Amino acid sequence: MHHPDDSIEPHRQARLGRRGFLLGTGALVATGVLAPQPRTAFAGDSSAGTPYWRPTVHFTPERNWMNDPNGMVHFQGEYHLFFQHNPHGDQWGNMSWGHAVSHDLVHWTELPVALSPDELGAIFSGSAVVDHDNTSGLFDAEPGIVAIYTNAGQTQQQSIAYSTDRGRTWTKYAGNPVIENPGVADFRDPKVFWHDETERWIMSLAEGDRISFYASPDLLNWERLSEFGSDQGAHGGVWECPDLFRLPVEGQPGRSKWVLIVSINPGGPAGGSGMQYFVGEFDGTRFRNDGSPGEVRWVDQGADFYAAVTWAGIPESDGRRLWLGWMSNWTYASEIPTSPWRGSMSVPRELSLIETGAGLRVAQRPVAELERVRRRPRRWSGAVSDGGAAPEFRGSELDMTTEFRLTGASATSFGLEVFTDGEQVTRIGYDVTARQVFVERTESGDTTVSDAFPARHAAEHVPDDGVVRLRILMDRCCVEVFGDRGQVVLTDLVFPAPKGNRVRPFADGGRVHLDSWEIYELNAH
């Protein structure tokens, strides 16, 4: 339960007028403190678990290990989220497909495990589609869902299963595997979609340091078409979890491009795992990159967004391309200090292609459904200076937007301090000299997860109009930062102590004007 608290911190009361408006530093509307959810002891108490770190609007399993999202499909009004899951422990291993469903992309119901290991091995990542026309011959009068996944036994091979009851129960195909291993160690993560132009199913599959494409008329018999990537993009680690889809260019009716997503581990921009993308053309057989072979475009330049894949089956009337990713990093995933679960997902995001000064870029925005659980709005604008007065709120589950004006600013960096208690702090802001949006978690609470955890992550950004716009989601153990139109994104885990629940603006080395600061409490109960 949330406990409203309209008091102001004692050390702030002297700065406020009788009606709660901040005097001398700008207009503060509906001054108050956003109360956190109740919390218990900080870290270490394994018997009590860590409920204070379980997020409110990010999916987590009730118990045990979770990593990559799998089988993302929308069917008969439900968004299905399958995920890599160890139902027997909090470490990676014995992988199955966990399962959850949602009607609104915010509230999730966890269901029993969907797919468990068999004689062909563990159940690794994959995808799911709705076979509307029964191309597979696996259904009768009504369409059903087909899951395409990697069996990981002595070798990695591709198999399928199907469901006739909205994903509640599954039958594994008697002819598995449908694609045998051709003799490579890494051969996994099939992502399948229906290609209208060639009237067949297309599969993207990770093979070591490249992506191969397959085609099938029926989801059962597959033909290898081509491969991409041996001389393209980043190659600091193995390629994983591909996704290929067409996106319209925002503001340019009739124009669209194909986007190929590739996760890579290690070799990410913040160290460890990360995600890159390519923009180009797909003719039903081959993907061609519009960029130069050595160019690398990162999906997210924080440390904790990985293996994201898009939902299949989104109705044409909706028209959005939606996805979410695993919020962790293979560098320290097994050491994340949450209990009795380990692993969480990002919020679902809408994808678009936007034209920028550097060319076409993938942009991400939190889904609009998240705004339906916003509560208790707060708004402020005014000057922020190094050592000067500034408003302060409390909250651990917040959705915030800010607009900082660069014109006239003398500060070398500015932004918001979140999850702070005066000693620990997570800083989110803009470095004027380096021209970067950044998240700094060097003093963010429990940073002992790994030597790589206490770090500053940054992404280059030069605003077109001199205004730094940020949307910041913070939810107990994480921050997701979206810069400008969403072409700059940083996602990071943080593990603050319970008392670290204050939020305030900052400016280093000078002054900046905060034209707009909107704060909403997130309440998904």
pLDDT value of position 9: 31
Asked if 16 and 142 sit in the same domain, the reply is no
- Identify the weakest region by mean pLDDT among 11-25, 164-178, 242-256: 11-25
What span, in angstroms and rounded, lies between the C-alpha atoms of 118 and 139?
A: 23
Mean pLDDT of 105-129: 98
Asked if 429 and 498 sit in the same domain, the reply is yes
24 located within any domain: yes
Asked if 97 and 212 sit in the same domain, the reply is yes
Q: Which residues are catalytic?
A: 68
Q: Which two tokens stand for residue 285?
A: 């057989």
Write the pLDDT tens digit of every residue in 390-399.
899 999 999 9
Omega into 177 within 30° of 0, i.e. cis? yes
Q: Which two tokens stand for residue 13?
A: 């009361």
Spatial neighbors of 196 by CB under 8 A, at least 6 apart, are: none
45 located within any domain: no
- Residue 241 sits in a domain whose CATH number is 2.115.10.20
Mean pLDDT of 39-63: 73
43 located within any domain: no
Give the bridge partners for 415, in sequence order.
429, 506
103 pLDDT above the threshold of 70 = yes
312 located within any domain: yes
Mean pLDDT of the chain: 91
Mean pLDDT of 389-408: 96
Q: Residues 7, 13, 15, 17: is their CA dihedral positive or negative?
A: positive
Task: Look up the domain containing 352 and give its range.
Answer: 64-334+344-366
Write the pLDDT tens digit of every residue in 417-455.
999 998 999 999 999 999 999 999 999 999 999 999 999
Asked if 91 and 162 sit in the same domain, the reply is yes
Asked if 147 and 284 sit in the same domain, the reply is yes
377 located within any domain: yes
Amino acid at 490: L
22 pLDDT above the threshold of 50 = no
Asked if 326 and 177 sit in the same domain, the reply is yes
Asked if 77 and 223 sit in the same domain, the reply is yes
Asked if 247 and 158 sit in the same domain, the reply is yes
Mean pLDDT of 446-466: 96
464 pLDDT above the threshold of 80 = yes
- Residue 406 sits in a domain whose CATH number is 2.60.120.560
The CA-CA-CA angle for residues 136, 139, 145, to 5°, reads 75
> In angstroms, what is the C-alpha Rg of the chain?
23
55 pLDDT above the threshold of 90 = yes
More confident residue, 7 or 204: 204
Sheet with 187-195: strands ordered across: 187-195, 200-207, 210-216, 223-228
pLDDT value of position 422: 86
Asked if 354 and 393 sit in the same domain, the reply is no
Q: Which two tokens stand for residue 214?
A: 């397959």
Asked if 161 and 300 sit in the same domain, the reply is yes
pLDDT value of position 48: 67
SS (H, E, C) 209-246: CEEEEEEECCCCCCEEEEEECCCCCCCCCEEEEEEEEE
More confident residue, 40 or 95: 95
290 located within any domain: yes
Asked if 28 and 129 sit in the same domain, the reply is no
pLDDT value of position 524: 82
User: Could you give phi then psi for residue 280, rounded to 5 degrees?
Assistant: -175, -140
More confident residue, 388 or 479: 479
Asked if 429 and 374 sit in the same domain, the reply is yes
Query: Shortest CA distance to 346 belongs to which of 321, 364, 372, 320?
Result: 364
Cα pseudo-dihedral 388, 394, 399, 402, rounded to 10: -10
287 located within any domain: yes
Write the pLDDT tens digit of every residue in 328-368.
999 999 999 999 999 999 999 999 999 999 999 999 999 99
* Count: domains in the chain: 2
What span, in angstroms and rounded, lies between the C-alpha atoms of 297 and 316?
A: 29
Write the pLDDT tens digit of every residue in 467-523.
999 999 999 999 999 999 999 999 999 999 989 999 999 999 999 999 999 999 999
Write the pLDDT tens digit of every residue in 263-318.
999 999 999 999 999 999 999 999 999 999 999 999 999 999 999 999 999 999 99
Write the pLDDT tens digit of every residue in 130-166.
999 999 999 998 999 999 999 999 999 999 999 999 9
Q: Which two tokens stand for residue 489?
A: 């994104």
Spatial neighbors of 163 by CB under 8 A, at least 6 apart, are: 144, 145, 147, 169, 170, 171
